[in-house]
Structure 1
Amino acid sequence: MADSKAVEIGGRAGFVARGVIYVLVGVLAVRVAFSDSGGRQADRGGALAEIAGKPFGHVLLWLLGIALAGMALWRLSEAAFGQAGPDGRKPAKRAAAAARCVFYAFVSYSVLAYAVGEKGSGSGSTDKRTEDVTAKALNWPGGQWIVGAAGVAVACIGLWIAIRAAMRKFHKHLKMAEMSPRERRAVDFLGVFGGVARGVVFAAAGVFAVVAAVQHDPGKSKGMDNTLRSFTDTSAGPWLLVLVAVGLVAFGVFSWANARWRKV
């Protein structure tokens, strides 16, 4: 299964779908920065609503959902048989692949559910879902510690994503030798800029979860949309959000580069 052509095609299609979502989220975030969001949230739900509003939008949603299912299948094959590369069979690598499989399976399900009209599925507002989950968790015994620990974990994951991107760790996953010098420079820029921006968003969301735990206020926890909007509250005004938003677009394009050159 690990060497299956169908699994390879599924993985590459998944990178294309991931790129589409990140590009649209970045574009929506730019609109938010200049108060032209049209009432749409800058997250996965907003991206799906944007697609659904276009001609043949529901067909595109089905294609995205199926492509993301292909990504989940590829990650499952990595968990079962190991990743490409000399250390791909390590237990930690397989565990990470299994976690990504679950994540992409959920995203695929939410996209397909949206395509058939379940607007209250996992493709809805990340802010509302995040607040609801945080509120429930805070009412558990030791809930503040659980939410705080989860926030620290998400913030650390964000920093890990940003640092790995800055160190160009993605090189080992790509067929760099098949790229021209110009393509390598472009992929390097997109991978670093896009990866750091993505990591910053994760880290910021984690910090807000920690604040929600400390203040015992689920409203302080933020999904992607409100996390992005929070960048406009800094001294840089909307321009910091624009920078992060363009970075998310760059990560989307980097995902398309992965569809072409990823070692699958």
Structure 2
Amino acid sequence: MTARVLTGTGRAKARRAADGTAAEGAARAGLTARGVIYLLVGVLALQIAFGTGNREADRSGALEELADKPFGSVLLWALGIGLVGMALWRLSEAVFGAVGPDGRKAKKRLASTARCVFYAFVAYSVLAFAASPGNGSGGSSDQQSRDVTARVMEAPAGRWLVGLVGVGIVVAGLVMGVQAARRSYRKKLKTGELAPWSRRLVDVTGIAGGVARGLVFAVAGAFAVRAAVDYQPDRAKGLDDTLRSFADTPLGPWLLVLVAAGLVLFGVFSFCLARWRRV
């Protein structure tokens, strides 16, 4: 009887260890894939700022850029599989709880569920593009934003819904920026494995990249609010148009350069998380 209990306990521990290893692998693959996308979008935005870009600075442009590289098809499939890993990792957090003392709270589980749905959609779009590159990646982010906004506004109270979603995106962007500036990401790092140089790398990329990412989200949300207030779906902007709008400010293309460089740094920061984040 005792032997059976010990055997069962050993099997349960082995299963939990295997599940933990699988979740960690999925998380690190997903963070790496996210880093690739942000890195490519940032590079495309830099090209636009300097007048040399001919692709949109969004996910569709990033996939097209990747498809043109040597072994592009292989890279696209690897990217899609990595994003599937990201979705599965977030799903495991929603079901079993995330790392940290408050990881099992309802708020954390709900956030993980939303991230799971988002990355599942992104993974599907990437894999669909990898399977049939000639059919495109489902359209630009700008057109998708306008189409979705127009459809929602046609529904009862749709205008209010668009406005509330826009406000939510603005708040999310501001929170991202503030958390990055406060270096909140340090709570989730394996700090004992960080050498002085790697700590500096994480801080530079985490702060600059996180603030730039938060700013992009906040501005995109502001455009959605404006579309709702003016009752004009065309005023909603996707990632590409949002980035291009920075070049229309009094600072000209230099603000776009700073934001684009920040997105590149956020891509590098994602690689750092893939290496040193606790999962």
TM-score interval for Structure 1 and Structure 2 normalised by the shorter chain: over 0.9
Residues 164-201 of structure 1 deviation map (CA, whole Å, 9 limit, x = unaligned)? 11111101111122101121111011101000000000
Mapped to 2, the partners of 1:168 and 1:103 lie a distance apart of: 24
1:20 to 2:30 alignment: no
The alpha carbon displacement at 1:120 in A equals 5.8
The alpha carbon displacement at 1:4 in A equals 2.5
Q: 2:151 aligns with which of 136, 159, 165?
A: 136
Q: 1:175-214 maps to which residues of 2 (within 5 A)?
A: 175-214=190-229
> How many pairs are equivalent?
263
Partner of 2:235: 220
Q: AA paired with 2:155?
A: W
Mapped to 1, the partners of 2:137 and 2:167 lie a distance apart of: 23
Cα 1:197/1:152, change in 2 over 3 Å: same
Mapped to 1, the partners of 2:198 and 2:152 lie a distance apart of: 46
TM-score by length of 1: 0.96
The alpha carbon displacement at 1:84 in A equals 1.3
Q: CA RMSD in A?
A: 1.4
Mapped to 2, the partners of 1:202 and 1:69 lie a distance apart of: 23
Residues 46-87 of structure 1 deviation map (CA, whole Å, 9 limit, x = unaligned)? 000000111110110000000110111111111111111222
The alpha carbon displacement at 1:144 in A equals 1.6
Which contiguous aligned blocks of 4+ residues in structure 1 show a shift greater than 3 angstroms? 118-123
Q: AA paired with 2:42?
A: G
1:235 to 2:250 alignment: yes
Mapped to 1, the partners of 2:137 and 2:147 lie a distance apart of: 13
The alpha carbon displacement at 1:133 in A equals 0.6
1:86 to 2:101 alignment: yes
1:9 to 2:9 alignment: no
Partner of 1:58: 73
Is residue 158–residue 198 contact of structure 1 (8 Å, CA) maintained in 2? yes
1:30 to 2:38 alignment: no
Q: AA paired with 2:82?
A: A
The alpha carbon displacement at 1:118 in A equals 6.1
Max Rg structure? 2
Cα 1:120/1:155, change in 2 over 3 Å: farther
Mapped to 2, the partners of 1:119 and 1:260 lie a distance apart of: 34
Is residue 17–residue 68 contact of structure 1 (8 Å, CA) maintained in 2? yes
Residues 201-223 of structure 1 deviation map (CA, whole Å, 9 limit, x = unaligned)? 00000000111111111111000
Is residue 146–residue 234 contact of structure 2 (8 Å, CA) maintained in 1? yes
Mapped to 1, the partners of 2:103 and 2:182 lie a distance apart of: 20
Residues 13-71 of structure 1 deviation map (CA, whole Å, 9 limit, x = unaligned)? 11111001000000000011122112x10001100000011111011000000011011
Q: AA paired with 1:16?
A: T
The alpha carbon displacement at 1:146 in A equals 1.2
Q: AA paired with 1:33?
A: A
111-120 or 58-67, which moves further after superposition?
A: 111-120
Is residue 63–residue 137 contact of structure 2 (8 Å, CA) maintained in 1? no
Mapped to 2, the partners of 1:119 and 1:109 lie a distance apart of: 16
Q: 1:40-51 maps to which residues of 2 (within 5 A)?
A: 40-51=55-66
Cα 1:181/1:94, change in 2 over 3 Å: same
Partner of 2:90: 75
The alpha carbon displacement at 1:134 in A equals 0.7
Mapped to 1, the partners of 2:271 and 2:20 lie a distance apart of: 21
What SS does structure 1 have at the residue aligned with 2:251?
A: coil
1:151 to 2:166 alignment: yes
Q: AA paired with 2:48?
A: V
1:98 to 2:113 alignment: yes
1:170 to 2:185 alignment: yes
